[in-house]
Amino acid sequence: MLMLSRVLSVFALMMGLAGGAASQRLGPDASRPQALPVAPGVWMVQGLSALGSSANRNFISNAGFVVTSTGVVVIDALGSPELARELRAEIARATPLPVTHVIVTHYHADHIYGLQVFKDAGATIVAHRQALLYLNSDTAQQRLAASREELFPWVDEQTRLVPADRWIEGPTTLQVGDTTLELRPVGPSHTPEDLAVWLPQRQVLFAGDLVFRGRIPFVGQADSAHWVQALDTLLGFDARVVVPGHGPVSASVRADLELTRDYLLHLRRTMGEAARNMDSFDEAYARTDWSRFEKLPLFGVANRMNAYNTYLLMEQAK
Ligand SMILES: [Zn+2]
């Protein structure tokens, strides 16, 4: 149904039927969730590349949905209840089946404030148990209080934090109708509770927020050893399509995964050697060969700090 309406829209444009108002109505509106096909029965909506604000209704993250023979599995719930209602409407255009499950890749605000819409409609929420640490923390309450002001009226007093109905701890297979979903813990990387979702029948991987695309990542205080392991886990799926937590799907996502991993390994190898030899950071930094990475966006901004953080990390670890 969804595809048909898109095809008709394009047809109308080709036939010159779309005037000003019509083309506005038919044209893409990136500020609203719109279901984009990823693979047969698999869809995503793509958030804006921006910081969350009242103006964009906190539509800054992606979500996905998988249509099985008996129901729909949603992956992440977007950044406000209103967006989740729009996502439900997009799902309803693709299938009459109900949403039976929502899998949360991690409990960051922009991925979870829509959860209550699916919970209230009867879906089972599934997440990694490590998220309880965050949900039970003052930080989560403070964050919600701040969001109720910054994202008003889209996040308000009615918006609540929704815990999972089913907490998983290790690799878990979820069978829904004819569709197998492999849930793999890949934290602590971006968060302690990171989950990746693998669809073996469609060779699609929902990677959550572990992937930086086409740029130098900000390493910060991250545990880069775990991050490398997590990227290896993701690469092990040999996915045909990877849906990141932010930004578009692309055929180059596998290359991006490898680039991020190889960059982290290069930092750990070079800075680890310097720390072991008790070379000064400046000396080690100056003699390191950065040629593979120095043309990447944000190299000038991020590389020296990434190297320094890794040097400190490796000093503690030696
Ligand atoms: Zn995110």
Which CATH number characterizes residue 106's domain? 3.60.15.10
> How far does the chain reach from its first CA to its final CA, in angstroms?
59
Look at residues 158, 175, 210 and tell me which one is the last residue of a structural domain: 210
* Same domain? 94 vs 226: no
Are 236 and 161 part of one and the same domain?
no
154 and 271 share a domain? Answer: no
Q: Residue 193: its pLDDT value, please? A: 95
The pLDDT value recorded for residue 4 is 42
Ligand 1 geometric centre to CA of 115 (Å): 15
Q: Are strands 63-67 and 72-75 parallel, antiparallel or unpaired?
A: antiparallel
SS3 42: strand
**How many structural domains are present in the chain?**
3
Using the mean position of ligand 1's atoms as its centre, give its distance from the Cα of residue 50 in Å: 11
* Separation of CA 114 and ligand 1 centre (Å): 14
| CA 282 / ligand 1 centre spacing (Å) | 34
Is the same domain home to 116 and 62? yes
Residue 19: the pLDDT is 31
Q: How much distance in Å is there from the Cα of 105 to the middle of ligand 1?
A: 9
Nearest to 298 by CA among 234, 228, 216, 238: 216
Mind listing the pLDDT tens digit of every residue in the chain (318 residues)?
444 444 333 333 333 333 333 223 333 678 999 999 999 999 999 998 888 999 999 999 999 999 999 999 999 999 999 999 999 999 999 999 999 999 999 999 999 999 999 999 999 999 999 999 999 999 999 999 999 999 999 999 999 999 999 999 999 999 999 999 999 999 988 889 999 999 999 999 999 988 767 778 888 877 889 999 999 999 999 898 999 898 888 767 778 889 889 999 999 999 999 999 999 999 999 999 999 999 988 899 899 999 999 999 999 987
- Output the CA 280–ligand 1 centroid distance in Å: 36
Q: Do 197 and 256 have their domain in common?
A: no
Do 229 and 82 belong together in one domain? no
CA of 276 to the centre of ligand 1 (A): 35
pLDDT on residue 28: 60
Kindly state whether residues 17 and 40 are assigned to the same domain: no
Quote the CA–CA distance of 38 and 298 in Å, as a whole number. Answer: 29
Would the pTM of this model clear 0.85, i.e. be above it? no
Domain-ending residue, one of 159, 189, 210: 210
For residues 48 and 145, membership in a common domain is answered with: yes
Domain identity same for 116 and 201: yes
Q: How far is the CA of 209 from the centre of ligand 1 (A)?
A: 5
Give the distance (Å) from ligand 1 centre to CA of residue 81.
16
My answer on whether 108 and 195 are in the same domain is yes
Q: What is the structure's pLDDT at 251?
A: 67
> Do 234 and 205 share a structural domain?
no
Of the three residues 210, 230, 251, the one that is the final residue of a domain is: 210
Do 18 and 144 share a domain, yes or no? no
210 three-state secondary structure: coil
Q: Which residues crowd ion ligand 1, with CB under 5 Å?
A: 61, 108, 209, 245
- Domain of residue 13 covers 1-30
Cα–Cα distance between 102 and 118 in angstroms, integer?
7
